[in-house]
Chain A
Amino acid sequence: MYKTMLKIAYQSMLERRGRTILLVLMIGLSMGTMVALEGLYDGMTQRMIDKAMRSDSGAISLYAPNYRLKQTIAYRINDADTICQTLRNLPEVDDARYRIRTDGLIQTAKKSRSAILLGINLHDENRFGNFKAFVQSGHLVLGKNDALIGSELAKKLKVAVGSHVTFATQDRHNNLQSISLHITAVVRTSNMVFDARALYVARNTAVALLDTDAHSATQIAISSHHADVQKLKEKIARIYPRLSVHTFTELYPQLKQMQALMSAFNGITFFIVMIVVFIGILGVMYVNILDRIREFGILLSIGYSYRYIRLQTMLESLILGFFGYMLGVLVGWILLGYLHRYGLNLNMFGDAAEFFGMDTVVYAAIKGSYFVYTWMAIMFASVLSIWLPLRNIKKLNPIEVVRSIA
């Protein structure tokens, strides 16, 4: 019985090749493009979030109380190295590192700018966030008077690898100190603030400049792939109640909001496109059924149950939707695969991308959920589209149908 129904469904689609092909194309191309766009937007925001985490806060950051409000070296964590060691031993924590930070003035012979000095340990930074991947030019070397400079800051000051700069700031005794630094590399973290203002030096250099001790830090950052970061934050806050503990979301609300906005936008686009796809399927199925109203009438008159007719039309609609979905999977997979591997080149917006901390080449993310949700939506649209035409069949009087043929 079901084999017969399947045969009839295929036959019906073959007889109306034109509209079948158009419908399958519509579903396939729209679904494939939508999935590719979703992947691109997700990939873009994911990379921004990933780079912000790797270059700055990690999943969770710890600060001395009042540091975030006052932003001075007076508010620092004194036993940062011990705390980092303890945190690394927690099962939920992948890695931890600490930095010392101060604001000041960077100067060349001809230009000056406000800047941030970050005292780092290169080995820790590479392990924590693959820092070496941020190098744009030069070599990742941090000797006593060496420095790495953010790419936008280097542009503003017209400095390059090999240039010399002076950095002036206030140490922990409120005395003005300055240091002459040699630029060994230009780095681009895609973190807007750091690319525009950061100067990275060896931690010992910063410690000596600021007259603090080598164990102190202004920030401890933790990387973690734990599913519940909020719980981990609470756990750390209980272990270190005297420290101020913040998740990435609390420190970068705009990025999380951007991600939420992107999701909402994708959701709305998806919904609108699916509504239009539903209208397309409805139109084709409606006409397909109307074309065969006599056929259904005769079947009803010879005792064919309405249940089987309903099943028959549903099968046809689902097969159409299925073919459209498969074409969509193919198109989506090709587009996503290309965008995931080669990315979308946005060099024409190069200045903006660099300034606002985005990559000039945007890579798409690939998630199974893209294909799952579209499958559910298309199947739902296919089933819903036959509801209206089935009402016409239900109202059919077999005797009148037979009479009209005669």
Chain B
Amino acid sequence: MLKLALKNIRFYKGRSITTFVLTFVAGYFFIVYVAFMDGAHGSMLHNALHVYTGALRIYQKAYRQEGGNDHLINDTATIYRILKTTKGVRTYGARIETYGIASSRKHSAAMMLCGVDFSKEAQLSSLKKAWRAGVYATNGSCLYMGEGLAKRLYVNVGDTIRFSGSAVNDVRVTQHFQVCGIFKTGMYDFDAQSAFMNRRYFDTVFHAKNISTYVVANTVPIGRTKQVAAAVAKKLPQDLEVYTWQTLMKPMVEIMKMDSFFGYISIALFFLVIFFVIMIYGFINVSARIKEFGVLKSIGVSNGTINRLLVYEIVILTAGALLLAALLGGGTAYYFQLHPFVIPGMSDTYKQYGVVSDTLPMLFNPWTIAWNSALLFVLNLLSVVYPMLYVRSFTPVEAMRHV
């Protein structure tokens, strides 16, 4: 039957070529499309989380629900010890945030002032990479300010602003700070309201020694964040909770899933048409060979064996086409993973949606290529079901007499 299948494939060139080409095109397109979608989504998410969010954060349990200075972390040192001994944690640091009004000579604006360890932040976030002017690692009463905020306040490096906020003990604090550095991450809202200060000085002004709003950590690899978070959670005191970036950036994660959902719907339409075309060509081919099947049946070949013949034909064609599609599609995905697409201005246009980079890489994932190919393989197998049933419906005599 295998030899006969190969013979039939060579003899009925029209059907074979059409099935092969359509399967190849569908397979290649599917692999490249999914690689692009997954790569673009992953890149957008990772770029956004590396800006400031971090892979995981540890909060006091009620902080994210209620907020306020009552739910700050009072013992950062203990958390540091836990993170130091947890496998998969690459870097970590504590941040303390407060909100207030910043005023320059010309204007006032809301500001989030954050006390950080600048040496750790260089590895935890992209604050250092986002440097635009002045000094990154500020000391004393110096601020490292977002460009959007600096523009709102009409200030530049060297200018002074007055900040009015509250300390961790809810005491009102009004202090003058100098703008010593300016950054631009590309995250519009973040740049328009954030400023950073050396942790030591922050602790002095805002009475925040050993107190943090949260502790942030990065994991290696980023894909194992959930497992690392589970390991950290086991060791943490009861009043603390760990959140992964998937929770912290839930809206962005979901929008990517939604985009994928609509992407798959669109591609399903394409597959629907291809499925029908392959089935039609298979059916036409089979109906042209009814006499041949009649002869086979009359010499004792069972329906099952004829079905096997049809399955061999479609499997050979599909396997060949999908192998080629997987090789070429995988190669394309790998190439564009290393040399991503660049759409100049994209991050500027879509900044409010959290897009911070103009690059869109593909994602080369052998597992994804495998399931893409497997799905198309199954679809092609299904396309031969109706022709099989059609052949079965003829008796040997009817088949031999078929015009």
Contacts and interface: CB of A to CB of B under 8 A. Distances in A.
B66 A279 contact: no
B103 interface: yes
Interface stretch (A107-115, A129-137, A241-249): A107-115
A126 B253 CA distance: 35
Given A107-B99, A352-B258, A18 B270 contact: no
Contacts of A151: none
Nearest to A290: B288
A289 B26 CA distance: 28
Contacts of A107: 99
Contact of B353 (A108, A265, A277, A356): A356
Contacts of A169: 108
Given A284-B280, A355-B251, A110 B70 contact: yes
Nearest to B21: A279
B251 A26 contact: no
A168 B353 CA distance: 27
Interface stretch (B88-96, B271-279, B322-330): B271-279
A353 B164 CA distance: 35
B103 A176 contact: yes
Main secondary structure of the interface of B (DSSP, over half): helix
B140 interface: no
Contact of B110 (A108, A113, A280, A355): A113
Contacts of A196: 189
Contacts of A71: 152
Contacts of A174: 106-108
Contact of B254 (A29, A272, A349): A349
A19 interface: yes
A352 B250 CA distance: 7
B103 A170 contact: yes
Contact of A105 (B99, B353, B390): B99
A94 to B, nearest CB: 28
B102 to A, nearest CB: 9
A22 B276 contact: yes
Choose among A41, A283, A353 the residue with the greatest number of B CB atoms under 10 Å from its CB: A283
Nearest to B112: A114
B251 A30 contact: no
A90 B253 CA distance: 46
B390 A176 contact: no
Interface string A142-171: 000000000000000110000000001110
A18 B391 CA distance: 12
18 contacts: A18-B283, A18-B390, A22-B280, A33-B272, A106-B110, A111-B67, A112-B99, A114-B99, A157-B67, A169-B108, A174-B107, A283-B14, A284-B284, A350-B254, A351-B250, A351-B254, A352-B258, A356-B255
Given A174-B108, A254-B350, A257-B349, 16 more contacts: A19-B287, A22-B279, A22-B280, A25-B276, A105-B101, A107-B99, A110-B66, A111-B67, A114-B99, A114-B109, A168-B101, A193-B352, A272-B270, A352-B251, A352-B254, A352-B255
